[in-house]
Amino acid sequence: MEIKTAPADADLTDVTFIVGVLAGTQPLPGAGELVESADPALIELAKFEGKMGQVLQVPHQIAKAVLLVGLGDEATFESIRGAMGNAVRSVRTQRAVTNLHQAPIDAATRAVVEGAALGGYQFRSYKTEGEGLVIESLELLGGDEDEIGETLVTTDATNLARDWVNAPALDKAPQALAAMIGEAAGHAGLQVEVWDESRIADEKLGALLGVAAGSDRPPQVVILRYEPEGAGAHLALVGKGITFDSGGLSIKTAPFMEEMKDDMSGAAVVSAATIAIARLGLPIRVTTVVPLTDNAIGGNATRPGDVLRPVDGPTIEVLNTDAEGRLILADGLGIAKRHEPDLIVDVATLTGAARVALGDKIAAVFASDSGVSSRILEAASRAGEQFWEMPLFKEYAKTIESDIADIKNISASRYGGAIIAALFLSRYAGDFDWAHLDIAGPARWRETVGEQVKGASGVGVRTLVELARSLVAATKPSTVS
């Protein structure tokens, strides 16, 4: 679907006109005439009241149809974004126009574009039957081309991450996924480096090799570099890239294995965010490290009780092979530290405990200090993504002390699992400013509603882009004399 601007006097023949309606069937400013022209009896018969999630198509004397979309009690960024997601899936003409971006709220254009681009997302690569969206173009009457274009960069990146995560594990072996990421990054002008298994061994990434040992699909490491002229801050991103997680010898039960193609969501998010940052031309240096491997079962698989040696930091006694994400992140963080960034952020579908604590729509934030966590949360708020700060309670660190190695990869306690995983990672982040984003809950949407489409979510991409913007702003020289 193409999203673009259109003149205020655009031809509306054969077009669906999308307008916003508040609860109580109150039209937004600028939509009154369109709403009032609709047959009140038809609106009453359909029980359309402007509630969030409601959509009603009515005939119009000029346009092909008017699509009324409910905004609920108030026009907000979130309600407009959600309404546009509902709208584009309901349009039955190839072309639609809207004036919802003229709503009297901040960032209304971004809300409209995000809602349409994210809510209109489809993953149909493996479909042989059925139809996709009818709508082919959405036009914002009198819209701002620059704002539309900038928003589309971040929504395109989010949808790219969704594509990678939605793809079956069969078709994204580490080598194949590395090629996909490398190709997309290359088109964005990024420097791309890919390490094969031999290079990984030479670099002594013992934790990644330990997780990969049970698979016949060799591991890879993808390193992306964005180094624009005039860059101030340096951001390092690390993404968990488990291309399929069987649990290893600590095997998962079948129901818990069904969605494990998603376990490379962190890798997809950080890669796509880096591509978006480059396409936007933000003056910030970014180094992204993506370790990729299956966590499989084979004759050479790591056994509970084995000890692994990461590239840097404590040795690890592996007591549960299904706590593998933190192992490959240990090596990813070790590589990221070599580049001496100002801030390291890792992203991972790391623990079921984070999902238990925060549900399916909120991601957890752990950070080295309150300043870092505040920066992440502020970026998430601007991006319109839901994150929540969790405590890095250092007293729990004693629960992963090992008798034969430096630390264990799990605690003996069944409680506080997300905190303990974050404490584990903090040992490999060292003294750097660092944040860990556990997206285990919202990495997958469970239903299609608003801008959310069932399947991979791409949550985190837009937050990381906003984080990069904030770091750029923080390093700009003061103009105050």
Q: Which domains does the chain have, with CATH numbers?
A: 2-141 (3.40.220.10), 153-475 (3.40.630.10)
Please state, rounded to an integer, the average pLDDT across all residues of the chain: 96
Q: What percentage of residues in the chain have a pLDDT greater than 90?
A: 91
Q: Annotated catalytic, 225?
A: no
- Is the sign of the CA dihedral 446, 358, 412, 331 positive or negative? positive
Average pLDDT value for residue range 123-146: 94
Least confident residue range of 26-40, 90-104, 108-122, 192-206: 26-40
pLDDT of residue 275: 99
Q: Which of 51, 204, 252, 469 is catalytic?
A: 252
Buried b or exposed e, range 306-327, using 16+ CB within 10 angstroms: bbbbbbbbbebbbbebbbbbbb
Q: Say if CB 332 and CB 356 are below 8 A apart.
A: no
Q: Annotated catalytic, 326?
A: yes
Least confident residue range of 28-37, 151-160, 277-286, 303-312: 28-37
Q: For the chain, how big is the Rg over CA atoms in Å?
A: 24
pLDDT for 161 beyond 60? yes
pLDDT of residue 348: 98
C-alpha distance from residue 94 to each of 121, 143, 305, 314 (Å): 16, 19, 60, 58
Residue 136 pLDDT class (50, 70, 90 cuts): very high
d(CA 419, CA 395): 11
d(CA 391, CA 1): 42
Residue 47 burial (CB count, 10 A): 9
Residue 478 pLDDT class (50, 70, 90 cuts): low
pLDDT for 377 beyond 60? yes
Question: What is the SS3 assignment for 445?
Answer: strand
pLDDT of residue 39: 86
pLDDT of residue 32: 81
pLDDT of residue 51: 95
Buried b or exposed e, range 177-215, using 16+ CB within 10 angstroms: bbebbbebbeebebebebbebeebeebebbbbbbbbbbb
Closest C-alpha among 181, 182, 183, 106 to residue 147: 106
Under 8 Å CB-to-CB from 64, ≥6 apart: which residues?
13, 14, 15, 16, 93
Q: Say if CB 312 and CB 431 are below 8 A apart.
A: no
Q: Which of 89, 326, 337, 444 is catalytic?
A: 326
Residue 388 pLDDT class (50, 70, 90 cuts): very high
Average pLDDT value for residue range 15-43: 88
